[in-house]
């Protein structure tokens, strides 16, 4: 349960808390348990699906509130207060998103959007770096559609502009692009902190940890933004005040910068 002394850590998973290639985090499980004992609340905030994050909770051996599909749905908020709902949906559902996409994107741009679930199983496993038996969790989505865009940067920008004009967007997570509502990780983070502030009459202290483009808004809206080392993501031009960047990659880099962030608080 949440209290006024709690600190909230909103964290991406793949490449941030989980190893980029193996998705393992065994080496930091003891540290996660230590944080829990200190009344520090970890809230995964990921592009992953509900089923994928439930599996992460199981592997971590305790329950987290969490945010799935890039800010689309908040889960298990009742863990923080029994007066809060178990689930809050912030985004349009996947059927609405598909309909808007079909009606408003021209055929030329559509032809460059490859829905990953339509590719061969071998292609899918290479894209996600996951075995075949894990892909069912990836595709059990309520609000987002994973795609590969095969056009150039100008066409990609054109696609984004058309989506934004029609109430949609896409988020670039590194491996894939997730087509969805105009919702991001920061929207869900702010929803949770506003609810806690209203109920407990005290503004929560927040740490945000990410490693890629789709984490930027979350980092910008936290008290202490933290970026885990990612050689494929250029962080030089990020305009984020007081940003902490780890020297190590995930998962050890996660521990490194969370410790630094907690020292600041």
Q: 17 near 251, Cβ under 8 Å?
A: yes
Residue 260, classed as helix, strand or coil, is helix
Q: What domains, with CATH codes, occur in the chain?
A: 7-90+186-264 (3.40.50.1000), 94-181 (3.30.980.20)
Distance CA 128, CA 6 (A): 35
Pairing label, strands 73-75, 224-227: unpaired
What are the E-state strand segments in 60-103? 66-68, 73-75, 87-89
Contacts of 82 (CB under 8 A, 6+ apart): none
pLDDT at 236 over 70: no
The residue-averaged pLDDT of 162-181 equals 91
Give me 176's structure tokens. Answer: 């894939």
Upstream peptide bond of 250 is cis (omega within 30 degrees of 0) = no
Q: Is the dihedral of CA 7, 12, 16, 17 positive or negative?
A: positive
pLDDT tens per residue across span 90-131: 999 999 999 999 999 999 999 999 999 888 888 888 888 888
* pTM attached to this predicted model: 0.94
User: How many whole angstroms separate alpha carbon 227 and alpha carbon 49?
Assistant: 22
45: β partners: 67
pLDDT tens-digit readout, 10-48: 999 999 999 999 999 999 999 999 999 999 999 999 999
Q: Please give the share of the chain, as a percent, with pLDDT higher than 90.
A: 82
Q: How far apart are CA 209 and CA 260, in angstroms?
A: 12
* pLDDT at res. 135: 85
């Amino acid at each position: 349960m949440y209290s006024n002394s709690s600190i909230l850590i909103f964290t991406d998973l793949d490449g941030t808390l989980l190893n980029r290639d193996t998705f393992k985090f065994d080496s930091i499980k003891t540290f996660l348990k230590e944080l829990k004992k200190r009344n520090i609340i970890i809230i995964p905030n990921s592009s992953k699906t509900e089923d994928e994050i439930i599996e992460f909770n199981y592997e971590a051996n305790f329950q987290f509130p969490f945010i799935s599909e890039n800010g689309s749905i908040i889960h298990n908020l009742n863990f923080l207060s029994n007066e809060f709902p178990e689930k809050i949906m912030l985004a349009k559902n996947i059927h609405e998103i598909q309909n808007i996409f079909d009606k408003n994107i021209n055929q030329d741009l559509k032809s460059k959007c490859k829905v990953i679930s339509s590719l061969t199983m071998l292609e899918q496993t290479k894209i996600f770096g996951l075995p075949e038996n894990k892909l069912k969790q990836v595709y059990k989505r309520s609000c987002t559609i994973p795609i590969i865009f095969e056009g150039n940067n100008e066409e990609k920008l054109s696609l984004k502009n058309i989506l934004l004009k029609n109430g949609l967007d896409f988020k670039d997570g590194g491996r894939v692009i997730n087509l969805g509502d105009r919702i991001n990780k920061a929207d869900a983070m702010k929803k949770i902190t506003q609810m806690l502030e209203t109920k407990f009459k005290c503004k929560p202290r927040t740490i945000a940890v990410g490693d890629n483009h789709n984490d930027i808004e979350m980092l910008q809206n936290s008290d202490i933004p933290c970026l885990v080392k990612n050689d494929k993501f250029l962080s030089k031009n990020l305009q984020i005040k007081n940003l902490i960047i780890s020297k190590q990659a995930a998962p050890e880099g996660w521990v490194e910068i969370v410790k630094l962030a907690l020292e600041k608080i």
